[in-house]
Amino acid sequence: MSQSTFLPSYTIGADAYNAINDIVKPYGTTAVMIGGKTALEKAANKIKAALTNEVSIIDTLWYGGNSTYENVDTLMQEPSVQTADVLFAVGGGRVCDTVKVTAEKLGKPVFTFPTIGSNCSPVTAVCVMYTESGEMHGLFFPAKPPTHAFIDIAIIAEAPDKYLWAGIGDALSKEIESTFSARGDQLDYTDGLGIQIGKMCTDRLLTYGTQALTDSAANIPSYSIEQVVLDIIVTTGLVSVLVINDYNSAMAHSFYYGTTVLAKMEDYLHGASVSYGVLALLKMDQQEALFERIYHFMIENKLPVCLADMHLNATTDLDAILDKAMTTHDIVHVPYEITREMFKEAILAVEAYHAAQTIPADFSPIL
């Protein structure tokens, strides 16, 4: 059987929007801009200023507040969305996922404009969907990734630091989870290519991550921010597009999905929870040297290194987290069975390791 692979394309830089008109106009002359309220406030005028009369914005809409099928249905009923040639998704991952599903259902091209460096949704052919209550609902798979992503480093550098911080936490999982999930498999060309690309993630994040967060705090669209954002959005996105979904995630994401059942975690950033799940995976898999490297990087950058950093409690919260985590697909295709007891023991091993450390006096997780 034949195989078609559609790779993400992107423009990155402080002047990335200058390329919008030439890249979009072959796909149509009218666009609806859909985004988060803050994202639209930061990017809408800059996007409009970059367009000539060959491409026009016919409407600007709020995406609804979460990536839910209810919000997709609402957008699909908008007359401007139905008549526009293309859709612009402006904002973070949940904006991009909502608009990607809407575009897929309507058969329209979608262009993404990430305003925060938090995840790879702007370039991937997968959408994480939630229930109205905020619990993870499941995954939706468009036929192709977005047509193009316009990554404005200046806007991302000016965004709240917590989003880049969480994006680094999320990207820390890609190489570790994909190589773990694919371990022992005979990989075809496309899967093997994706796994190899993913091996760019960890060292680059550890090399540039701390400086990128320093520059983000100063609103400087620096080389370090660009390198880290490319890792967060593009490297991880390429892996996601190339590999079968079995290799896209593993136990770190199962931990995150487990936390979504707790109301107090509704506003906690996805990538931060995932980064803690990385520590649990490394402990379970006995990758002690890498565990220590990442643990100390996380300490340096105030990512959560224990349950208490996320306002979680092993006694009152862990069972609910594990109940949900054990139902996820992420821990099905793995090199050995992950039982509930193994999952729990891995988390408790991270907690024990952390309790034995001398933590810097100024350590306080960002969230």
Spatial neighbors of 300 by CB under 8 A, at least 6 apart, are 210
364 falls in which pLDDT band (50, 70, 90)? Answer: confident
**Which SS3 state, helix, strand or coil, does residue 22 take?**
helix
Per-residue pLDDT, 3: 86
What is the radius of gyration, based on Cα positions, of the chain? 20
Contact between 204 and 227 (Cβ < 8 Å): yes
Contact between 5 and 197 (Cβ < 8 Å): no
In this structure, is the dihedral angle defined by the CA atoms of residues 77, 88, 167 and 139, taken in order, positive or negative?
positive
Min mean pLDDT across 50-54, 188-192, 351-355 is at 50-54
Burial environment of residue 107 by CB neighbours within 10 A (0 to 12, 13 to 18, 19 or more)? exposed
Rounded to whole angstroms, the Cα distance separating 293 from 309 reads 19
Per-residue pLDDT, 84: 98
Contact between 62 and 31 (Cβ < 8 Å): no
Per-residue pLDDT, 53: 86
Tokens 């999320």 correspond to: 170
pLDDT at 360 over 80: no
Question: Residue 247 is encoded by which pair of tokens?
Answer: 């290799």
pLDDT, tens digit (0-9, with 9 covering 90-100), for 137-167: 999 999 999 999 999 999 999 999 999 999 9
Q: Report the candidate in 365, 134, 148 with the shortest Cα–Cα distance to residue 263.
A: 134
Rounded to whole angstroms, the Cα distance separating 56 from 43 reads 15
pLDDT, tens digit (0-9, with 9 covering 90-100), for 246-296: 999 999 999 999 999 999 998 899 999 999 999 999 999 999 999 999 999
pLDDT at 367 over 70: no
Q: Report the candidate in 318, 172, 311, 194 with the shortest Cα–Cα distance to residue 246.
A: 194
Contact between 179 and 290 (Cβ < 8 Å): no
Contact between 151 and 120 (Cβ < 8 Å): no
pLDDT, tens digit (0-9, with 9 covering 90-100), for 69-122: 999 999 999 999 999 999 999 999 999 999 999 999 999 999 999 999 999 999
Query: φ, ψ for residue 111 (rounded to 5)?
Result: -115, 140
Per-residue pLDDT, 366: 64
Q: Name 61's bridge partners.
A: 34
Question: Residue 326 is encoded by which pair of tokens?
Answer: 């054990």
Contact between 57 and 33 (Cβ < 8 Å): yes
Spatial neighbors of 186 by CB under 8 A, at least 6 apart, are none
Instruction: Output the DSSP codes for 186-219.
Output: ---HHHHHHHHHHTTHHHHHHHHHHHHHHHHHTT
The secondary structure element, H or E, covering residue 73 is helix 69-76
pTM for this prediction? 0.91
Mean pLDDT of the chain: 95
pLDDT at 363 over 80: no
